[in-house]
Amino acid sequence: MAIVPNQILAKRPVRRWFQQVYTMALVAVIVIVQSSCSLQQFAKADVQASRLVTGTLSDPKTFNPVLSQESPNVFGLTFEGLTGTDGVTGDVEPALAESWDIAEDGKTVTFILKDALRWSDGEPLTADDVVFTYRDVIFNPDIPNNSRDGFRIGREGLLPQVAKIDERQVQFSLPEPFAPFLRTTSLEILPEHVLRPLVEAKGEDGTPQFVSAWGTDTPPDQLVCNGPYRIKQYVPAERVVFERNPHYWRQGDQGQPQPYIQEVVWQVVESLDNQLLQFRSGGLDLMGVSPNYFSLLKEEENRGNFTIYNGGPATGTNFMAFNLNRASRNGNPLVDPVRSAWFNSVEFRQAVSYAIDRQAMINNIFRGIGEPQTSPISVPNPYYAPPEEGIPTYPYDLEKARELLLSAGFQYSGDNQLLDGEGNRVRFTLVTNSGNTIREGIGAQIKRDLSKIGIQVDFQPLAFNVLVDKLTDSLDWEALVLGLTGGLEPNGGANVWLLDGALHAFNQQAVAGQESLEGWQSAHWEEEIADLYVKAAQELDETKRRELYVETQRITQEYLPFIYLVNTLSMGAVRDKIQGIEYTAIGGSLWNIYELEIQE
């Protein structure tokens, strides 16, 4: 999972950037920073080069795939793993590995790499790089990363052993059968010849220098990758330019090198409205279509020479959440103890959920394009459980909300303000990322809705990078509106639900390199969800495995660590000049970018 301007990436997507046409989406989002005139001039500056122009709400935070916690990110363009996912069928498919063999006991998996693989600098890509990536980086406890959680196996959270057999064969030894394993090996493979010295070298605090490697200030010619593109130029607050990787392994039917599109440009802008303006003026070649823009774009589809693709229910979630963390840092509580007591009351969270008018949200913010969301697992996922399977739901009911609050010891003043049992006014700050008009609309409605049950909400949109720092470092937030990406493997969200998961955001522990916390504690239901995720990963029988995930959905909806809101449709608008689009909610517009072509 990773954090994105449009949503937070909880589950590893098809290829983390592409799949996003998000889903918490809210489809992974694209925008632009310059005027339409200058952008069009830039897009057409080199008529000899085929160029696709898209965008992002914020600058990349890192060029190191292991350290990334956000999406969209550059790594879907620049890196691949042993396996990938077919963006249409959702099936696991070979990527850097040409094949694999699973032993009869399910505990040994052997991968055979494709022949003659090379890095973008021309050096050979071999089994040594695979072993380095997993053993020395991902499984290295001194290197904080989101990916390690997805490889923890069994109740003890043991990691696989990985060994080189020969230059093209790598063997993973698992402590027990692990159902999600093939999907987890879509993880980006790293270049040992470049990065090993930075893993072995330690800073003054003993931390590997790798944790500061490949920042956004690293010159592009020092970034070595294995994906269809490599970074050519990065201008902060303006754009990232990618050029075709001359050593990429894929070829077309006639042996022609892929990808066919020579350059991809990400433009940076902090407003979805500007995204719309730039797309309509021809400055962007594609964009995610949020519900509030759908009607306008649909009217212009023919004369604008673009097509709006509908991938069905989006593969992700959007939610409101409270900070349930009761810990302190350096003796200072992360959350004010008075407010923390409110947030940790199940009745309080349930009352808030009943007080949110999701249908009004669908009608007014999502323009009728959506359904109430009732699960942490994406609707297209085969493990998704609808309300008919006994999953608790919270239809709009202000009277029910008030009853729950009163039963939990809250009270009302003479002017209908909600007070706790000690007479404290119930008031908190709600944050989200600025520039995302959908989320800003959600936050504004929640402020209005909760005022009807006497709660004062101070709504504060923040710059995306500031918000990410609060969620992953300082942990000093009270409530938020965000989202998680989704996928076809629920265990991709293990980093959200395991107690020490790197994105266990509602009750986050400190990760390596951060100041420690005092007094961290978990709830019984929190522990139960984590235990069920471990059991589900162990279970190879699909029927039994689904039953376990259904139970996780029942518990999350009862205790509401995340208050889920609206599931929208995954939609994208793409210029007709781009040929080969196979749009799906799983893969978005660009999951098969290596075979797309531009025909003016």
> How confident is the model over 437-464, as pLDDT tens digits?
899 999 999 999 999 999 999 999 999 8
Residue 378 confidence (pLDDT)? 87
pLDDT band per the 50, 70, 90 thresholds, residue 69? confident
Residue 551 confidence (pLDDT)? 98
pLDDT digits (tens, 9 = 90+) for 345-365: 999 999 999 999 999 999 999
pLDDT band per the 50, 70, 90 thresholds, residue 157? confident
Residue type, 114: K
- The whole-number average pLDDT for the span 148-154 is 86
- The whole-number average pLDDT for the span 133-142 is 96
Nearest CA to 406 among 417, 388, 420, 386?
Answer: 420
Lowest mean pLDDT among 223-232, 239-248, 579-588: 579-588
Give CA–CA dist 367/247, Å, rounded: 45
Are 73 and 129 found together in one domain?
A: no
pLDDT band per the 50, 70, 90 thresholds, residue 35? very low
pLDDT of 501 strictly over 90 = no
Highest mean pLDDT among 42-56, 226-240, 458-472: 226-240
Are 372 and 431 found together in one domain?
A: yes
Are 589 and 563 found together in one domain?
A: no
Q: Where on the phi/psi map is residue 580: left (φ > 0), alpha (ψ -120 to 50), or beta? A: left
Inside any domain, residue 143: yes
pLDDT band per the 50, 70, 90 thresholds, residue 12? very low
Are 159 and 270 found together in one domain?
A: no
Give CA–CA dist 505/516, Å, rounded: 16
Residue 271 confidence (pLDDT)? 81
Residues in contact with 309: Cβ distance below 8 Å, sequence separation at least 6, in sequence order: 571, 572, 573, 574, 581, 583, 589
pLDDT digits (tens, 9 = 90+) for 314-325: 988 999 999 999
Are 108 and 137 found together in one domain?
A: yes
Give CA–CA dist 373/177, Å, rounded: 33
pLDDT band per the 50, 70, 90 thresholds, residue 338? very high
Inside any domain, residue 236: yes
Are 112 and 259 spatial neighbours (Cβ–Cβ below 8 Å)? no
pLDDT of 481 strictly over 80 = yes
pLDDT band per the 50, 70, 90 thresholds, residue 564? very high
Lowest mean pLDDT among 47-61, 153-167, 193-207: 47-61
Helices and strands per DSSP (H, E), number in the chain:
16, 28
Are 399 and 479 found together in one domain?
A: yes
Tokens found for residue 264:
């991809």
Give CA–CA dist 586/423, Å, rounded: 49
Q: Nearest 5°: phi and psi at 111?
A: -105, 140
pLDDT band per the 50, 70, 90 thresholds, residue 17? very low
Nearest CA to 174 among 108, 253, 229?
Answer: 108
HEC profile for 84-150?
EECCCCCCEEECCEEEEEECCCCCEEEEEECCCCECCCCCECCHHHHHHHHHHHHCCCCCCCCCHHH
CATH value at residue 280: 3.40.190.10
Are 331 and 376 found together in one domain?
A: yes
Lowest mean pLDDT among 5-19, 217-231, 476-490: 5-19
Are 430 and 443 spatial neighbours (Cβ–Cβ below 8 Å)? yes
How crowded is residue 197: how many other Cβ atoms within 10 Å of its Cβ?
A: 12
Are 242 and 286 found together in one domain?
A: yes
Percent pLDDT > 70 in the chain is 92
Are 172 and 97 found together in one domain?
A: yes
pLDDT of 406 strictly over 60 = yes
Number of domains in the chain: 3
Inside any domain, residue 215: no
Sheet-wide strand order for 316-322: 456-462, 427-433, 479-485, 316-322, 563-564
Averaged pLDDT of the chain: 90
Residues in contact with 258: Cβ distance below 8 Å, sequence separation at least 6, in sequence order: 228, 248, 250, 251, 252, 594, 595
CATH value at residue 555: 3.10.105.10
Are 282 and 426 found together in one domain?
A: no
Nearest CA to 9 among 384, 436, 487, 441?
Answer: 487
Are 149 and 248 found together in one domain?
A: no
Residues in contact with 264: Cβ distance below 8 Å, sequence separation at least 6, in sequence order: 51, 52, 53, 54, 77, 229, 241, 242, 593
Residue 395 confidence (pLDDT)? 97
pLDDT of 504 strictly over 80 = yes
Are 84 and 186 spatial neighbours (Cβ–Cβ below 8 Å)? yes
Return the beta strands (E) in 478-568 as ranges: 479-485, 563-564, 566-567
The CA-based angle 521-527-533, given to 5 degrees, is 140
Inside any domain, residue 8: no
Residues in contact with 349: Cβ distance below 8 Å, sequence separation at least 6, in sequence order: 322, 343, 559, 560, 563
- The whole-number average pLDDT for the span 491-512 is 89
Inside any domain, residue 299: yes
Identify the residue with better confidence: 407 or 489. Answer: 407
Are 27 and 149 found together in one domain?
A: no
CATH value at residue 168: 3.90.76.10
Q: Which of 156, 177, 198 is the last residue of a domain?
A: 198
For β-strands 332-333 and 328-329, DSSP reports them as antiparallel
Question: CA dist 365 to 195, 283, 442, Å?
Answer: 46, 26, 7
Are 487 and 456 spatial neighbours (Cβ–Cβ below 8 Å)? no
- The whole-number average pLDDT for the span 522-535 is 96
pLDDT of 22 strictly over 70 = no
Nearest CA to 227 among 246, 214, 213?
Answer: 246
Residue 466 confidence (pLDDT)? 93
Residue 71 confidence (pLDDT)? 72
Give CA–CA dist 546/490, Å, rounded: 10
Q: Nearest 5°: phi and psi at 219?
A: -60, 135
Are 261 and 49 spatial neighbours (Cβ–Cβ below 8 Å)? no
Identify the residue with better confidence: 86 or 36. Answer: 86
pLDDT band per the 50, 70, 90 thresholds, residue 25? very low
Inside any domain, residue 11: no
pTM of the model: 0.74
Residue 39 confidence (pLDDT)? 44
Lowest mean pLDDT among 3-12, 288-297, 465-474, 537-546: 3-12
pLDDT band per the 50, 70, 90 thresholds, residue 38? very low
Identify the residue with better confidence: 503 or 400. Answer: 400
Q: Where are the alpha helices (DSSP H) in 430-541?
A: 437-451, 464-469, 494-497, 524-538
Are 117 and 226 spatial neighbours (Cβ–Cβ below 8 Å)? yes
pLDDT digits (tens, 9 = 90+) for 74-108: 999 999 999 999 999 889 999 999 999 999 999 99
Give CA–CA dist 14/183, Å, rounded: 9
SS3 577: coil
Nearest CA to 285 among 269, 302, 268, 307?
Answer: 307
Q: Nearest 5°: phi and psi at 586?
A: -70, -45
The tally of CA atoms less than 13 A away on the side-chain side of residue 93 is 14
- The whole-number average pLDDT for the span 123-143 is 97
Q: What is the DSSP secondary structure assignment for residue 158, as one 8-state letter?
A: B
Structural domain containing residue 393? 316-567
pLDDT band per the 50, 70, 90 thresholds, residue 27? very low
Residues in contact with 387: Cβ distance below 8 Å, sequence separation at least 6, in sequence order: 374, 393
Inside any domain, residue 212: no
Inside any domain, residue 10: no
- The whole-number average pLDDT for the span 502-511 is 91
pLDDT digits (tens, 9 = 90+) for 252-310: 999 999 999 999 999 987 788 898 999 999 999 999 998 889 999 999 999 999 999 99
Residue 502 confidence (pLDDT)? 82
The residue with tokens 């970034």 is: 223
Residue 204 confidence (pLDDT)? 87
